[in-house]
Amino acid sequence: GFVSSSYNYNFNKPASQTNCGVAPLQFCVRIFDQDANSFKLDNTELVFLKEAEDTGDIGFRFDLTFGFSLPEGAQRARSSATQPAPAGLATDDDDFDLQQAYVTWKAPVGKGLQLDLGKFVTHVGAEVFSGYDGWNMNFSRTYVFGWGIPFNHTGLRATYQVSDLITVMGMVANNWEEDGVSDNNTDKTFGGQIAISPSDTIGVLINWVGGNQGSGQTAPISTNNNWRNIFDIVVDIALTNQWSLQLNADYGAEENANTATGGTAKWGGFAGIIRYDVNKWFSMNVRGAHFIDEDGFRLGAANNRLWEVTVTPEFRVMENMVIRFEYRHDGSNLNIFEDQNGLGKDSQDTVAMNALIHF
């Protein structure tokens, strides 16, 4: 299991008491840490798991989450900037989420072909939801995670370890947005991953998801053929016993989704995180990220360029307890961050304290 709680403060003192921003944004720019000057039970998670370790084995996984940040935020529609976002994640939102629920069969193919059927977290991106399997090096999430990639998929995926060097995965699923469960047309979404481990200190993930994101079988053909692709690469490098580096880059595009030209809407970004383990109980994590929403398709503000720098000292006070403090600076070429008068400015600074327990 896993429990995470936090406090977040915004030095802009935004009038809405959120970190969401103002028009022309149509969605909250921050994903899970949306409420300013607020204590939150972000997420609790219970995992029921039986692994299919040997060929012929059957297993399952069931992740139930509850909280006032992550579970509800993970269910928000992020398909495109077509509707205004609520002004934060409130305690009266739907705070339960079935984050993952799938059955597994280790089919007798070669060394064993793992088949998972159900709902599962996406393979795309460097950052994770945080929970039983682990957590990110920083408390807050990058724009690359929040607005560049899908969160969940519901479908069938097949994973096969070709060798000690290469593992491959293929997937067919429903619509890659909304909450990863429903489908909005008669087509399916496809995905794949190539995991390469050239050495004990380097890991590379090459990811892709693509599919028709059109608005349904009753819509005109021109609006039911919006093929969306997301390409993603993640590189993890253990520089030394104490220094590690993680790099992530994404590029996404959807046909017929540019509201200004009727052409292809594009977005993309990159992030880098460096970690230094000072000793057994303290580490320092520093992150930089940049996200470009060229056509305003993801957040509603055209030609929007977002960047952030985040510093997160981490204290492992007990074997199963971690306390983190965080400073984050957000910037944009547009005045999309909110000040104390409800007006826009081009930056905001936030601090957070986070305590998490894993068991």
Q: Check which CATH number belongs to the domain holding 29 and give it.
A: 2.40.160.10
Across the range 291-317, mean pLDDT stands at: 95
Across the range 235-256, mean pLDDT stands at: 96
103: which residues sit within 8 A by CB, 6+ positions away?
58, 59, 60, 116, 117, 118
* Assigned token pair, 195: 């995991």
Q: Cβ-count burial of 168 within 10 angstroms (0-12 exposed, 13-18 middle, 19+ buried)?
A: middle
- The one-character DSSP state at 147 is H
Q: Check whether 79 has a pLDDT greater than 50.
A: no
- The one-character DSSP state at 34 is -
What distance in Å separates the CA atoms of residue 189 and residue 174, rounded to the nearest whole number?
Answer: 6
Reported in sequence order, the residue ranges of 294-336 that DSSP labels E, i.e. its strands, are 304-318, 321-332
- The one-character DSSP state at 302 is T
Alpha-carbon torsion, ordered 34, 36, 41, 42, to 10 deg: 30
Q: Check whether 90 has a pLDDT greater than 70.
A: no
Residues shown for the chain: 359
Q: Check whether 185 has a pLDDT greater than 90.
A: no
Q: What is the pLDDT of residue 179?
A: 56
Across the range 319-325, mean pLDDT stands at: 96
Count structural domains, the chain: 1
pLDDT in tens, 161-170: 999 999 999 9
pLDDT in tens, 112-154: 999 999 999 999 999 988 787 889 999 999 999 999 999 999 9
How many CB atoms neighbour CB 58 within 10 A?
10
Q: What is the pLDDT of residue 94?
A: 56
Q: What is the pLDDT of residue 222?
A: 45
Q: Cβ-count burial of 313 within 10 angstroms (0-12 exposed, 13-18 middle, 19+ buried)?
A: middle
Q: Check whether 277 has a pLDDT greater than 50.
A: yes
* Assigned token pair, 230: 């997301």
Q: What is the pLDDT of residue 75?
A: 65
How many CB atoms neighbour CB 5 within 10 A?
18
Structural domain of 277: 2-358
- The one-character DSSP state at 73 is H
321: which residues sit within 8 A by CB, 6+ positions away?
355, 356, 357
Q: Cβ-count burial of 323 within 10 angstroms (0-12 exposed, 13-18 middle, 19+ buried)?
A: middle
Cis-peptide into 24, omega within 30 deg = yes
Task: Report if pTM > 0.85.
Answer: yes
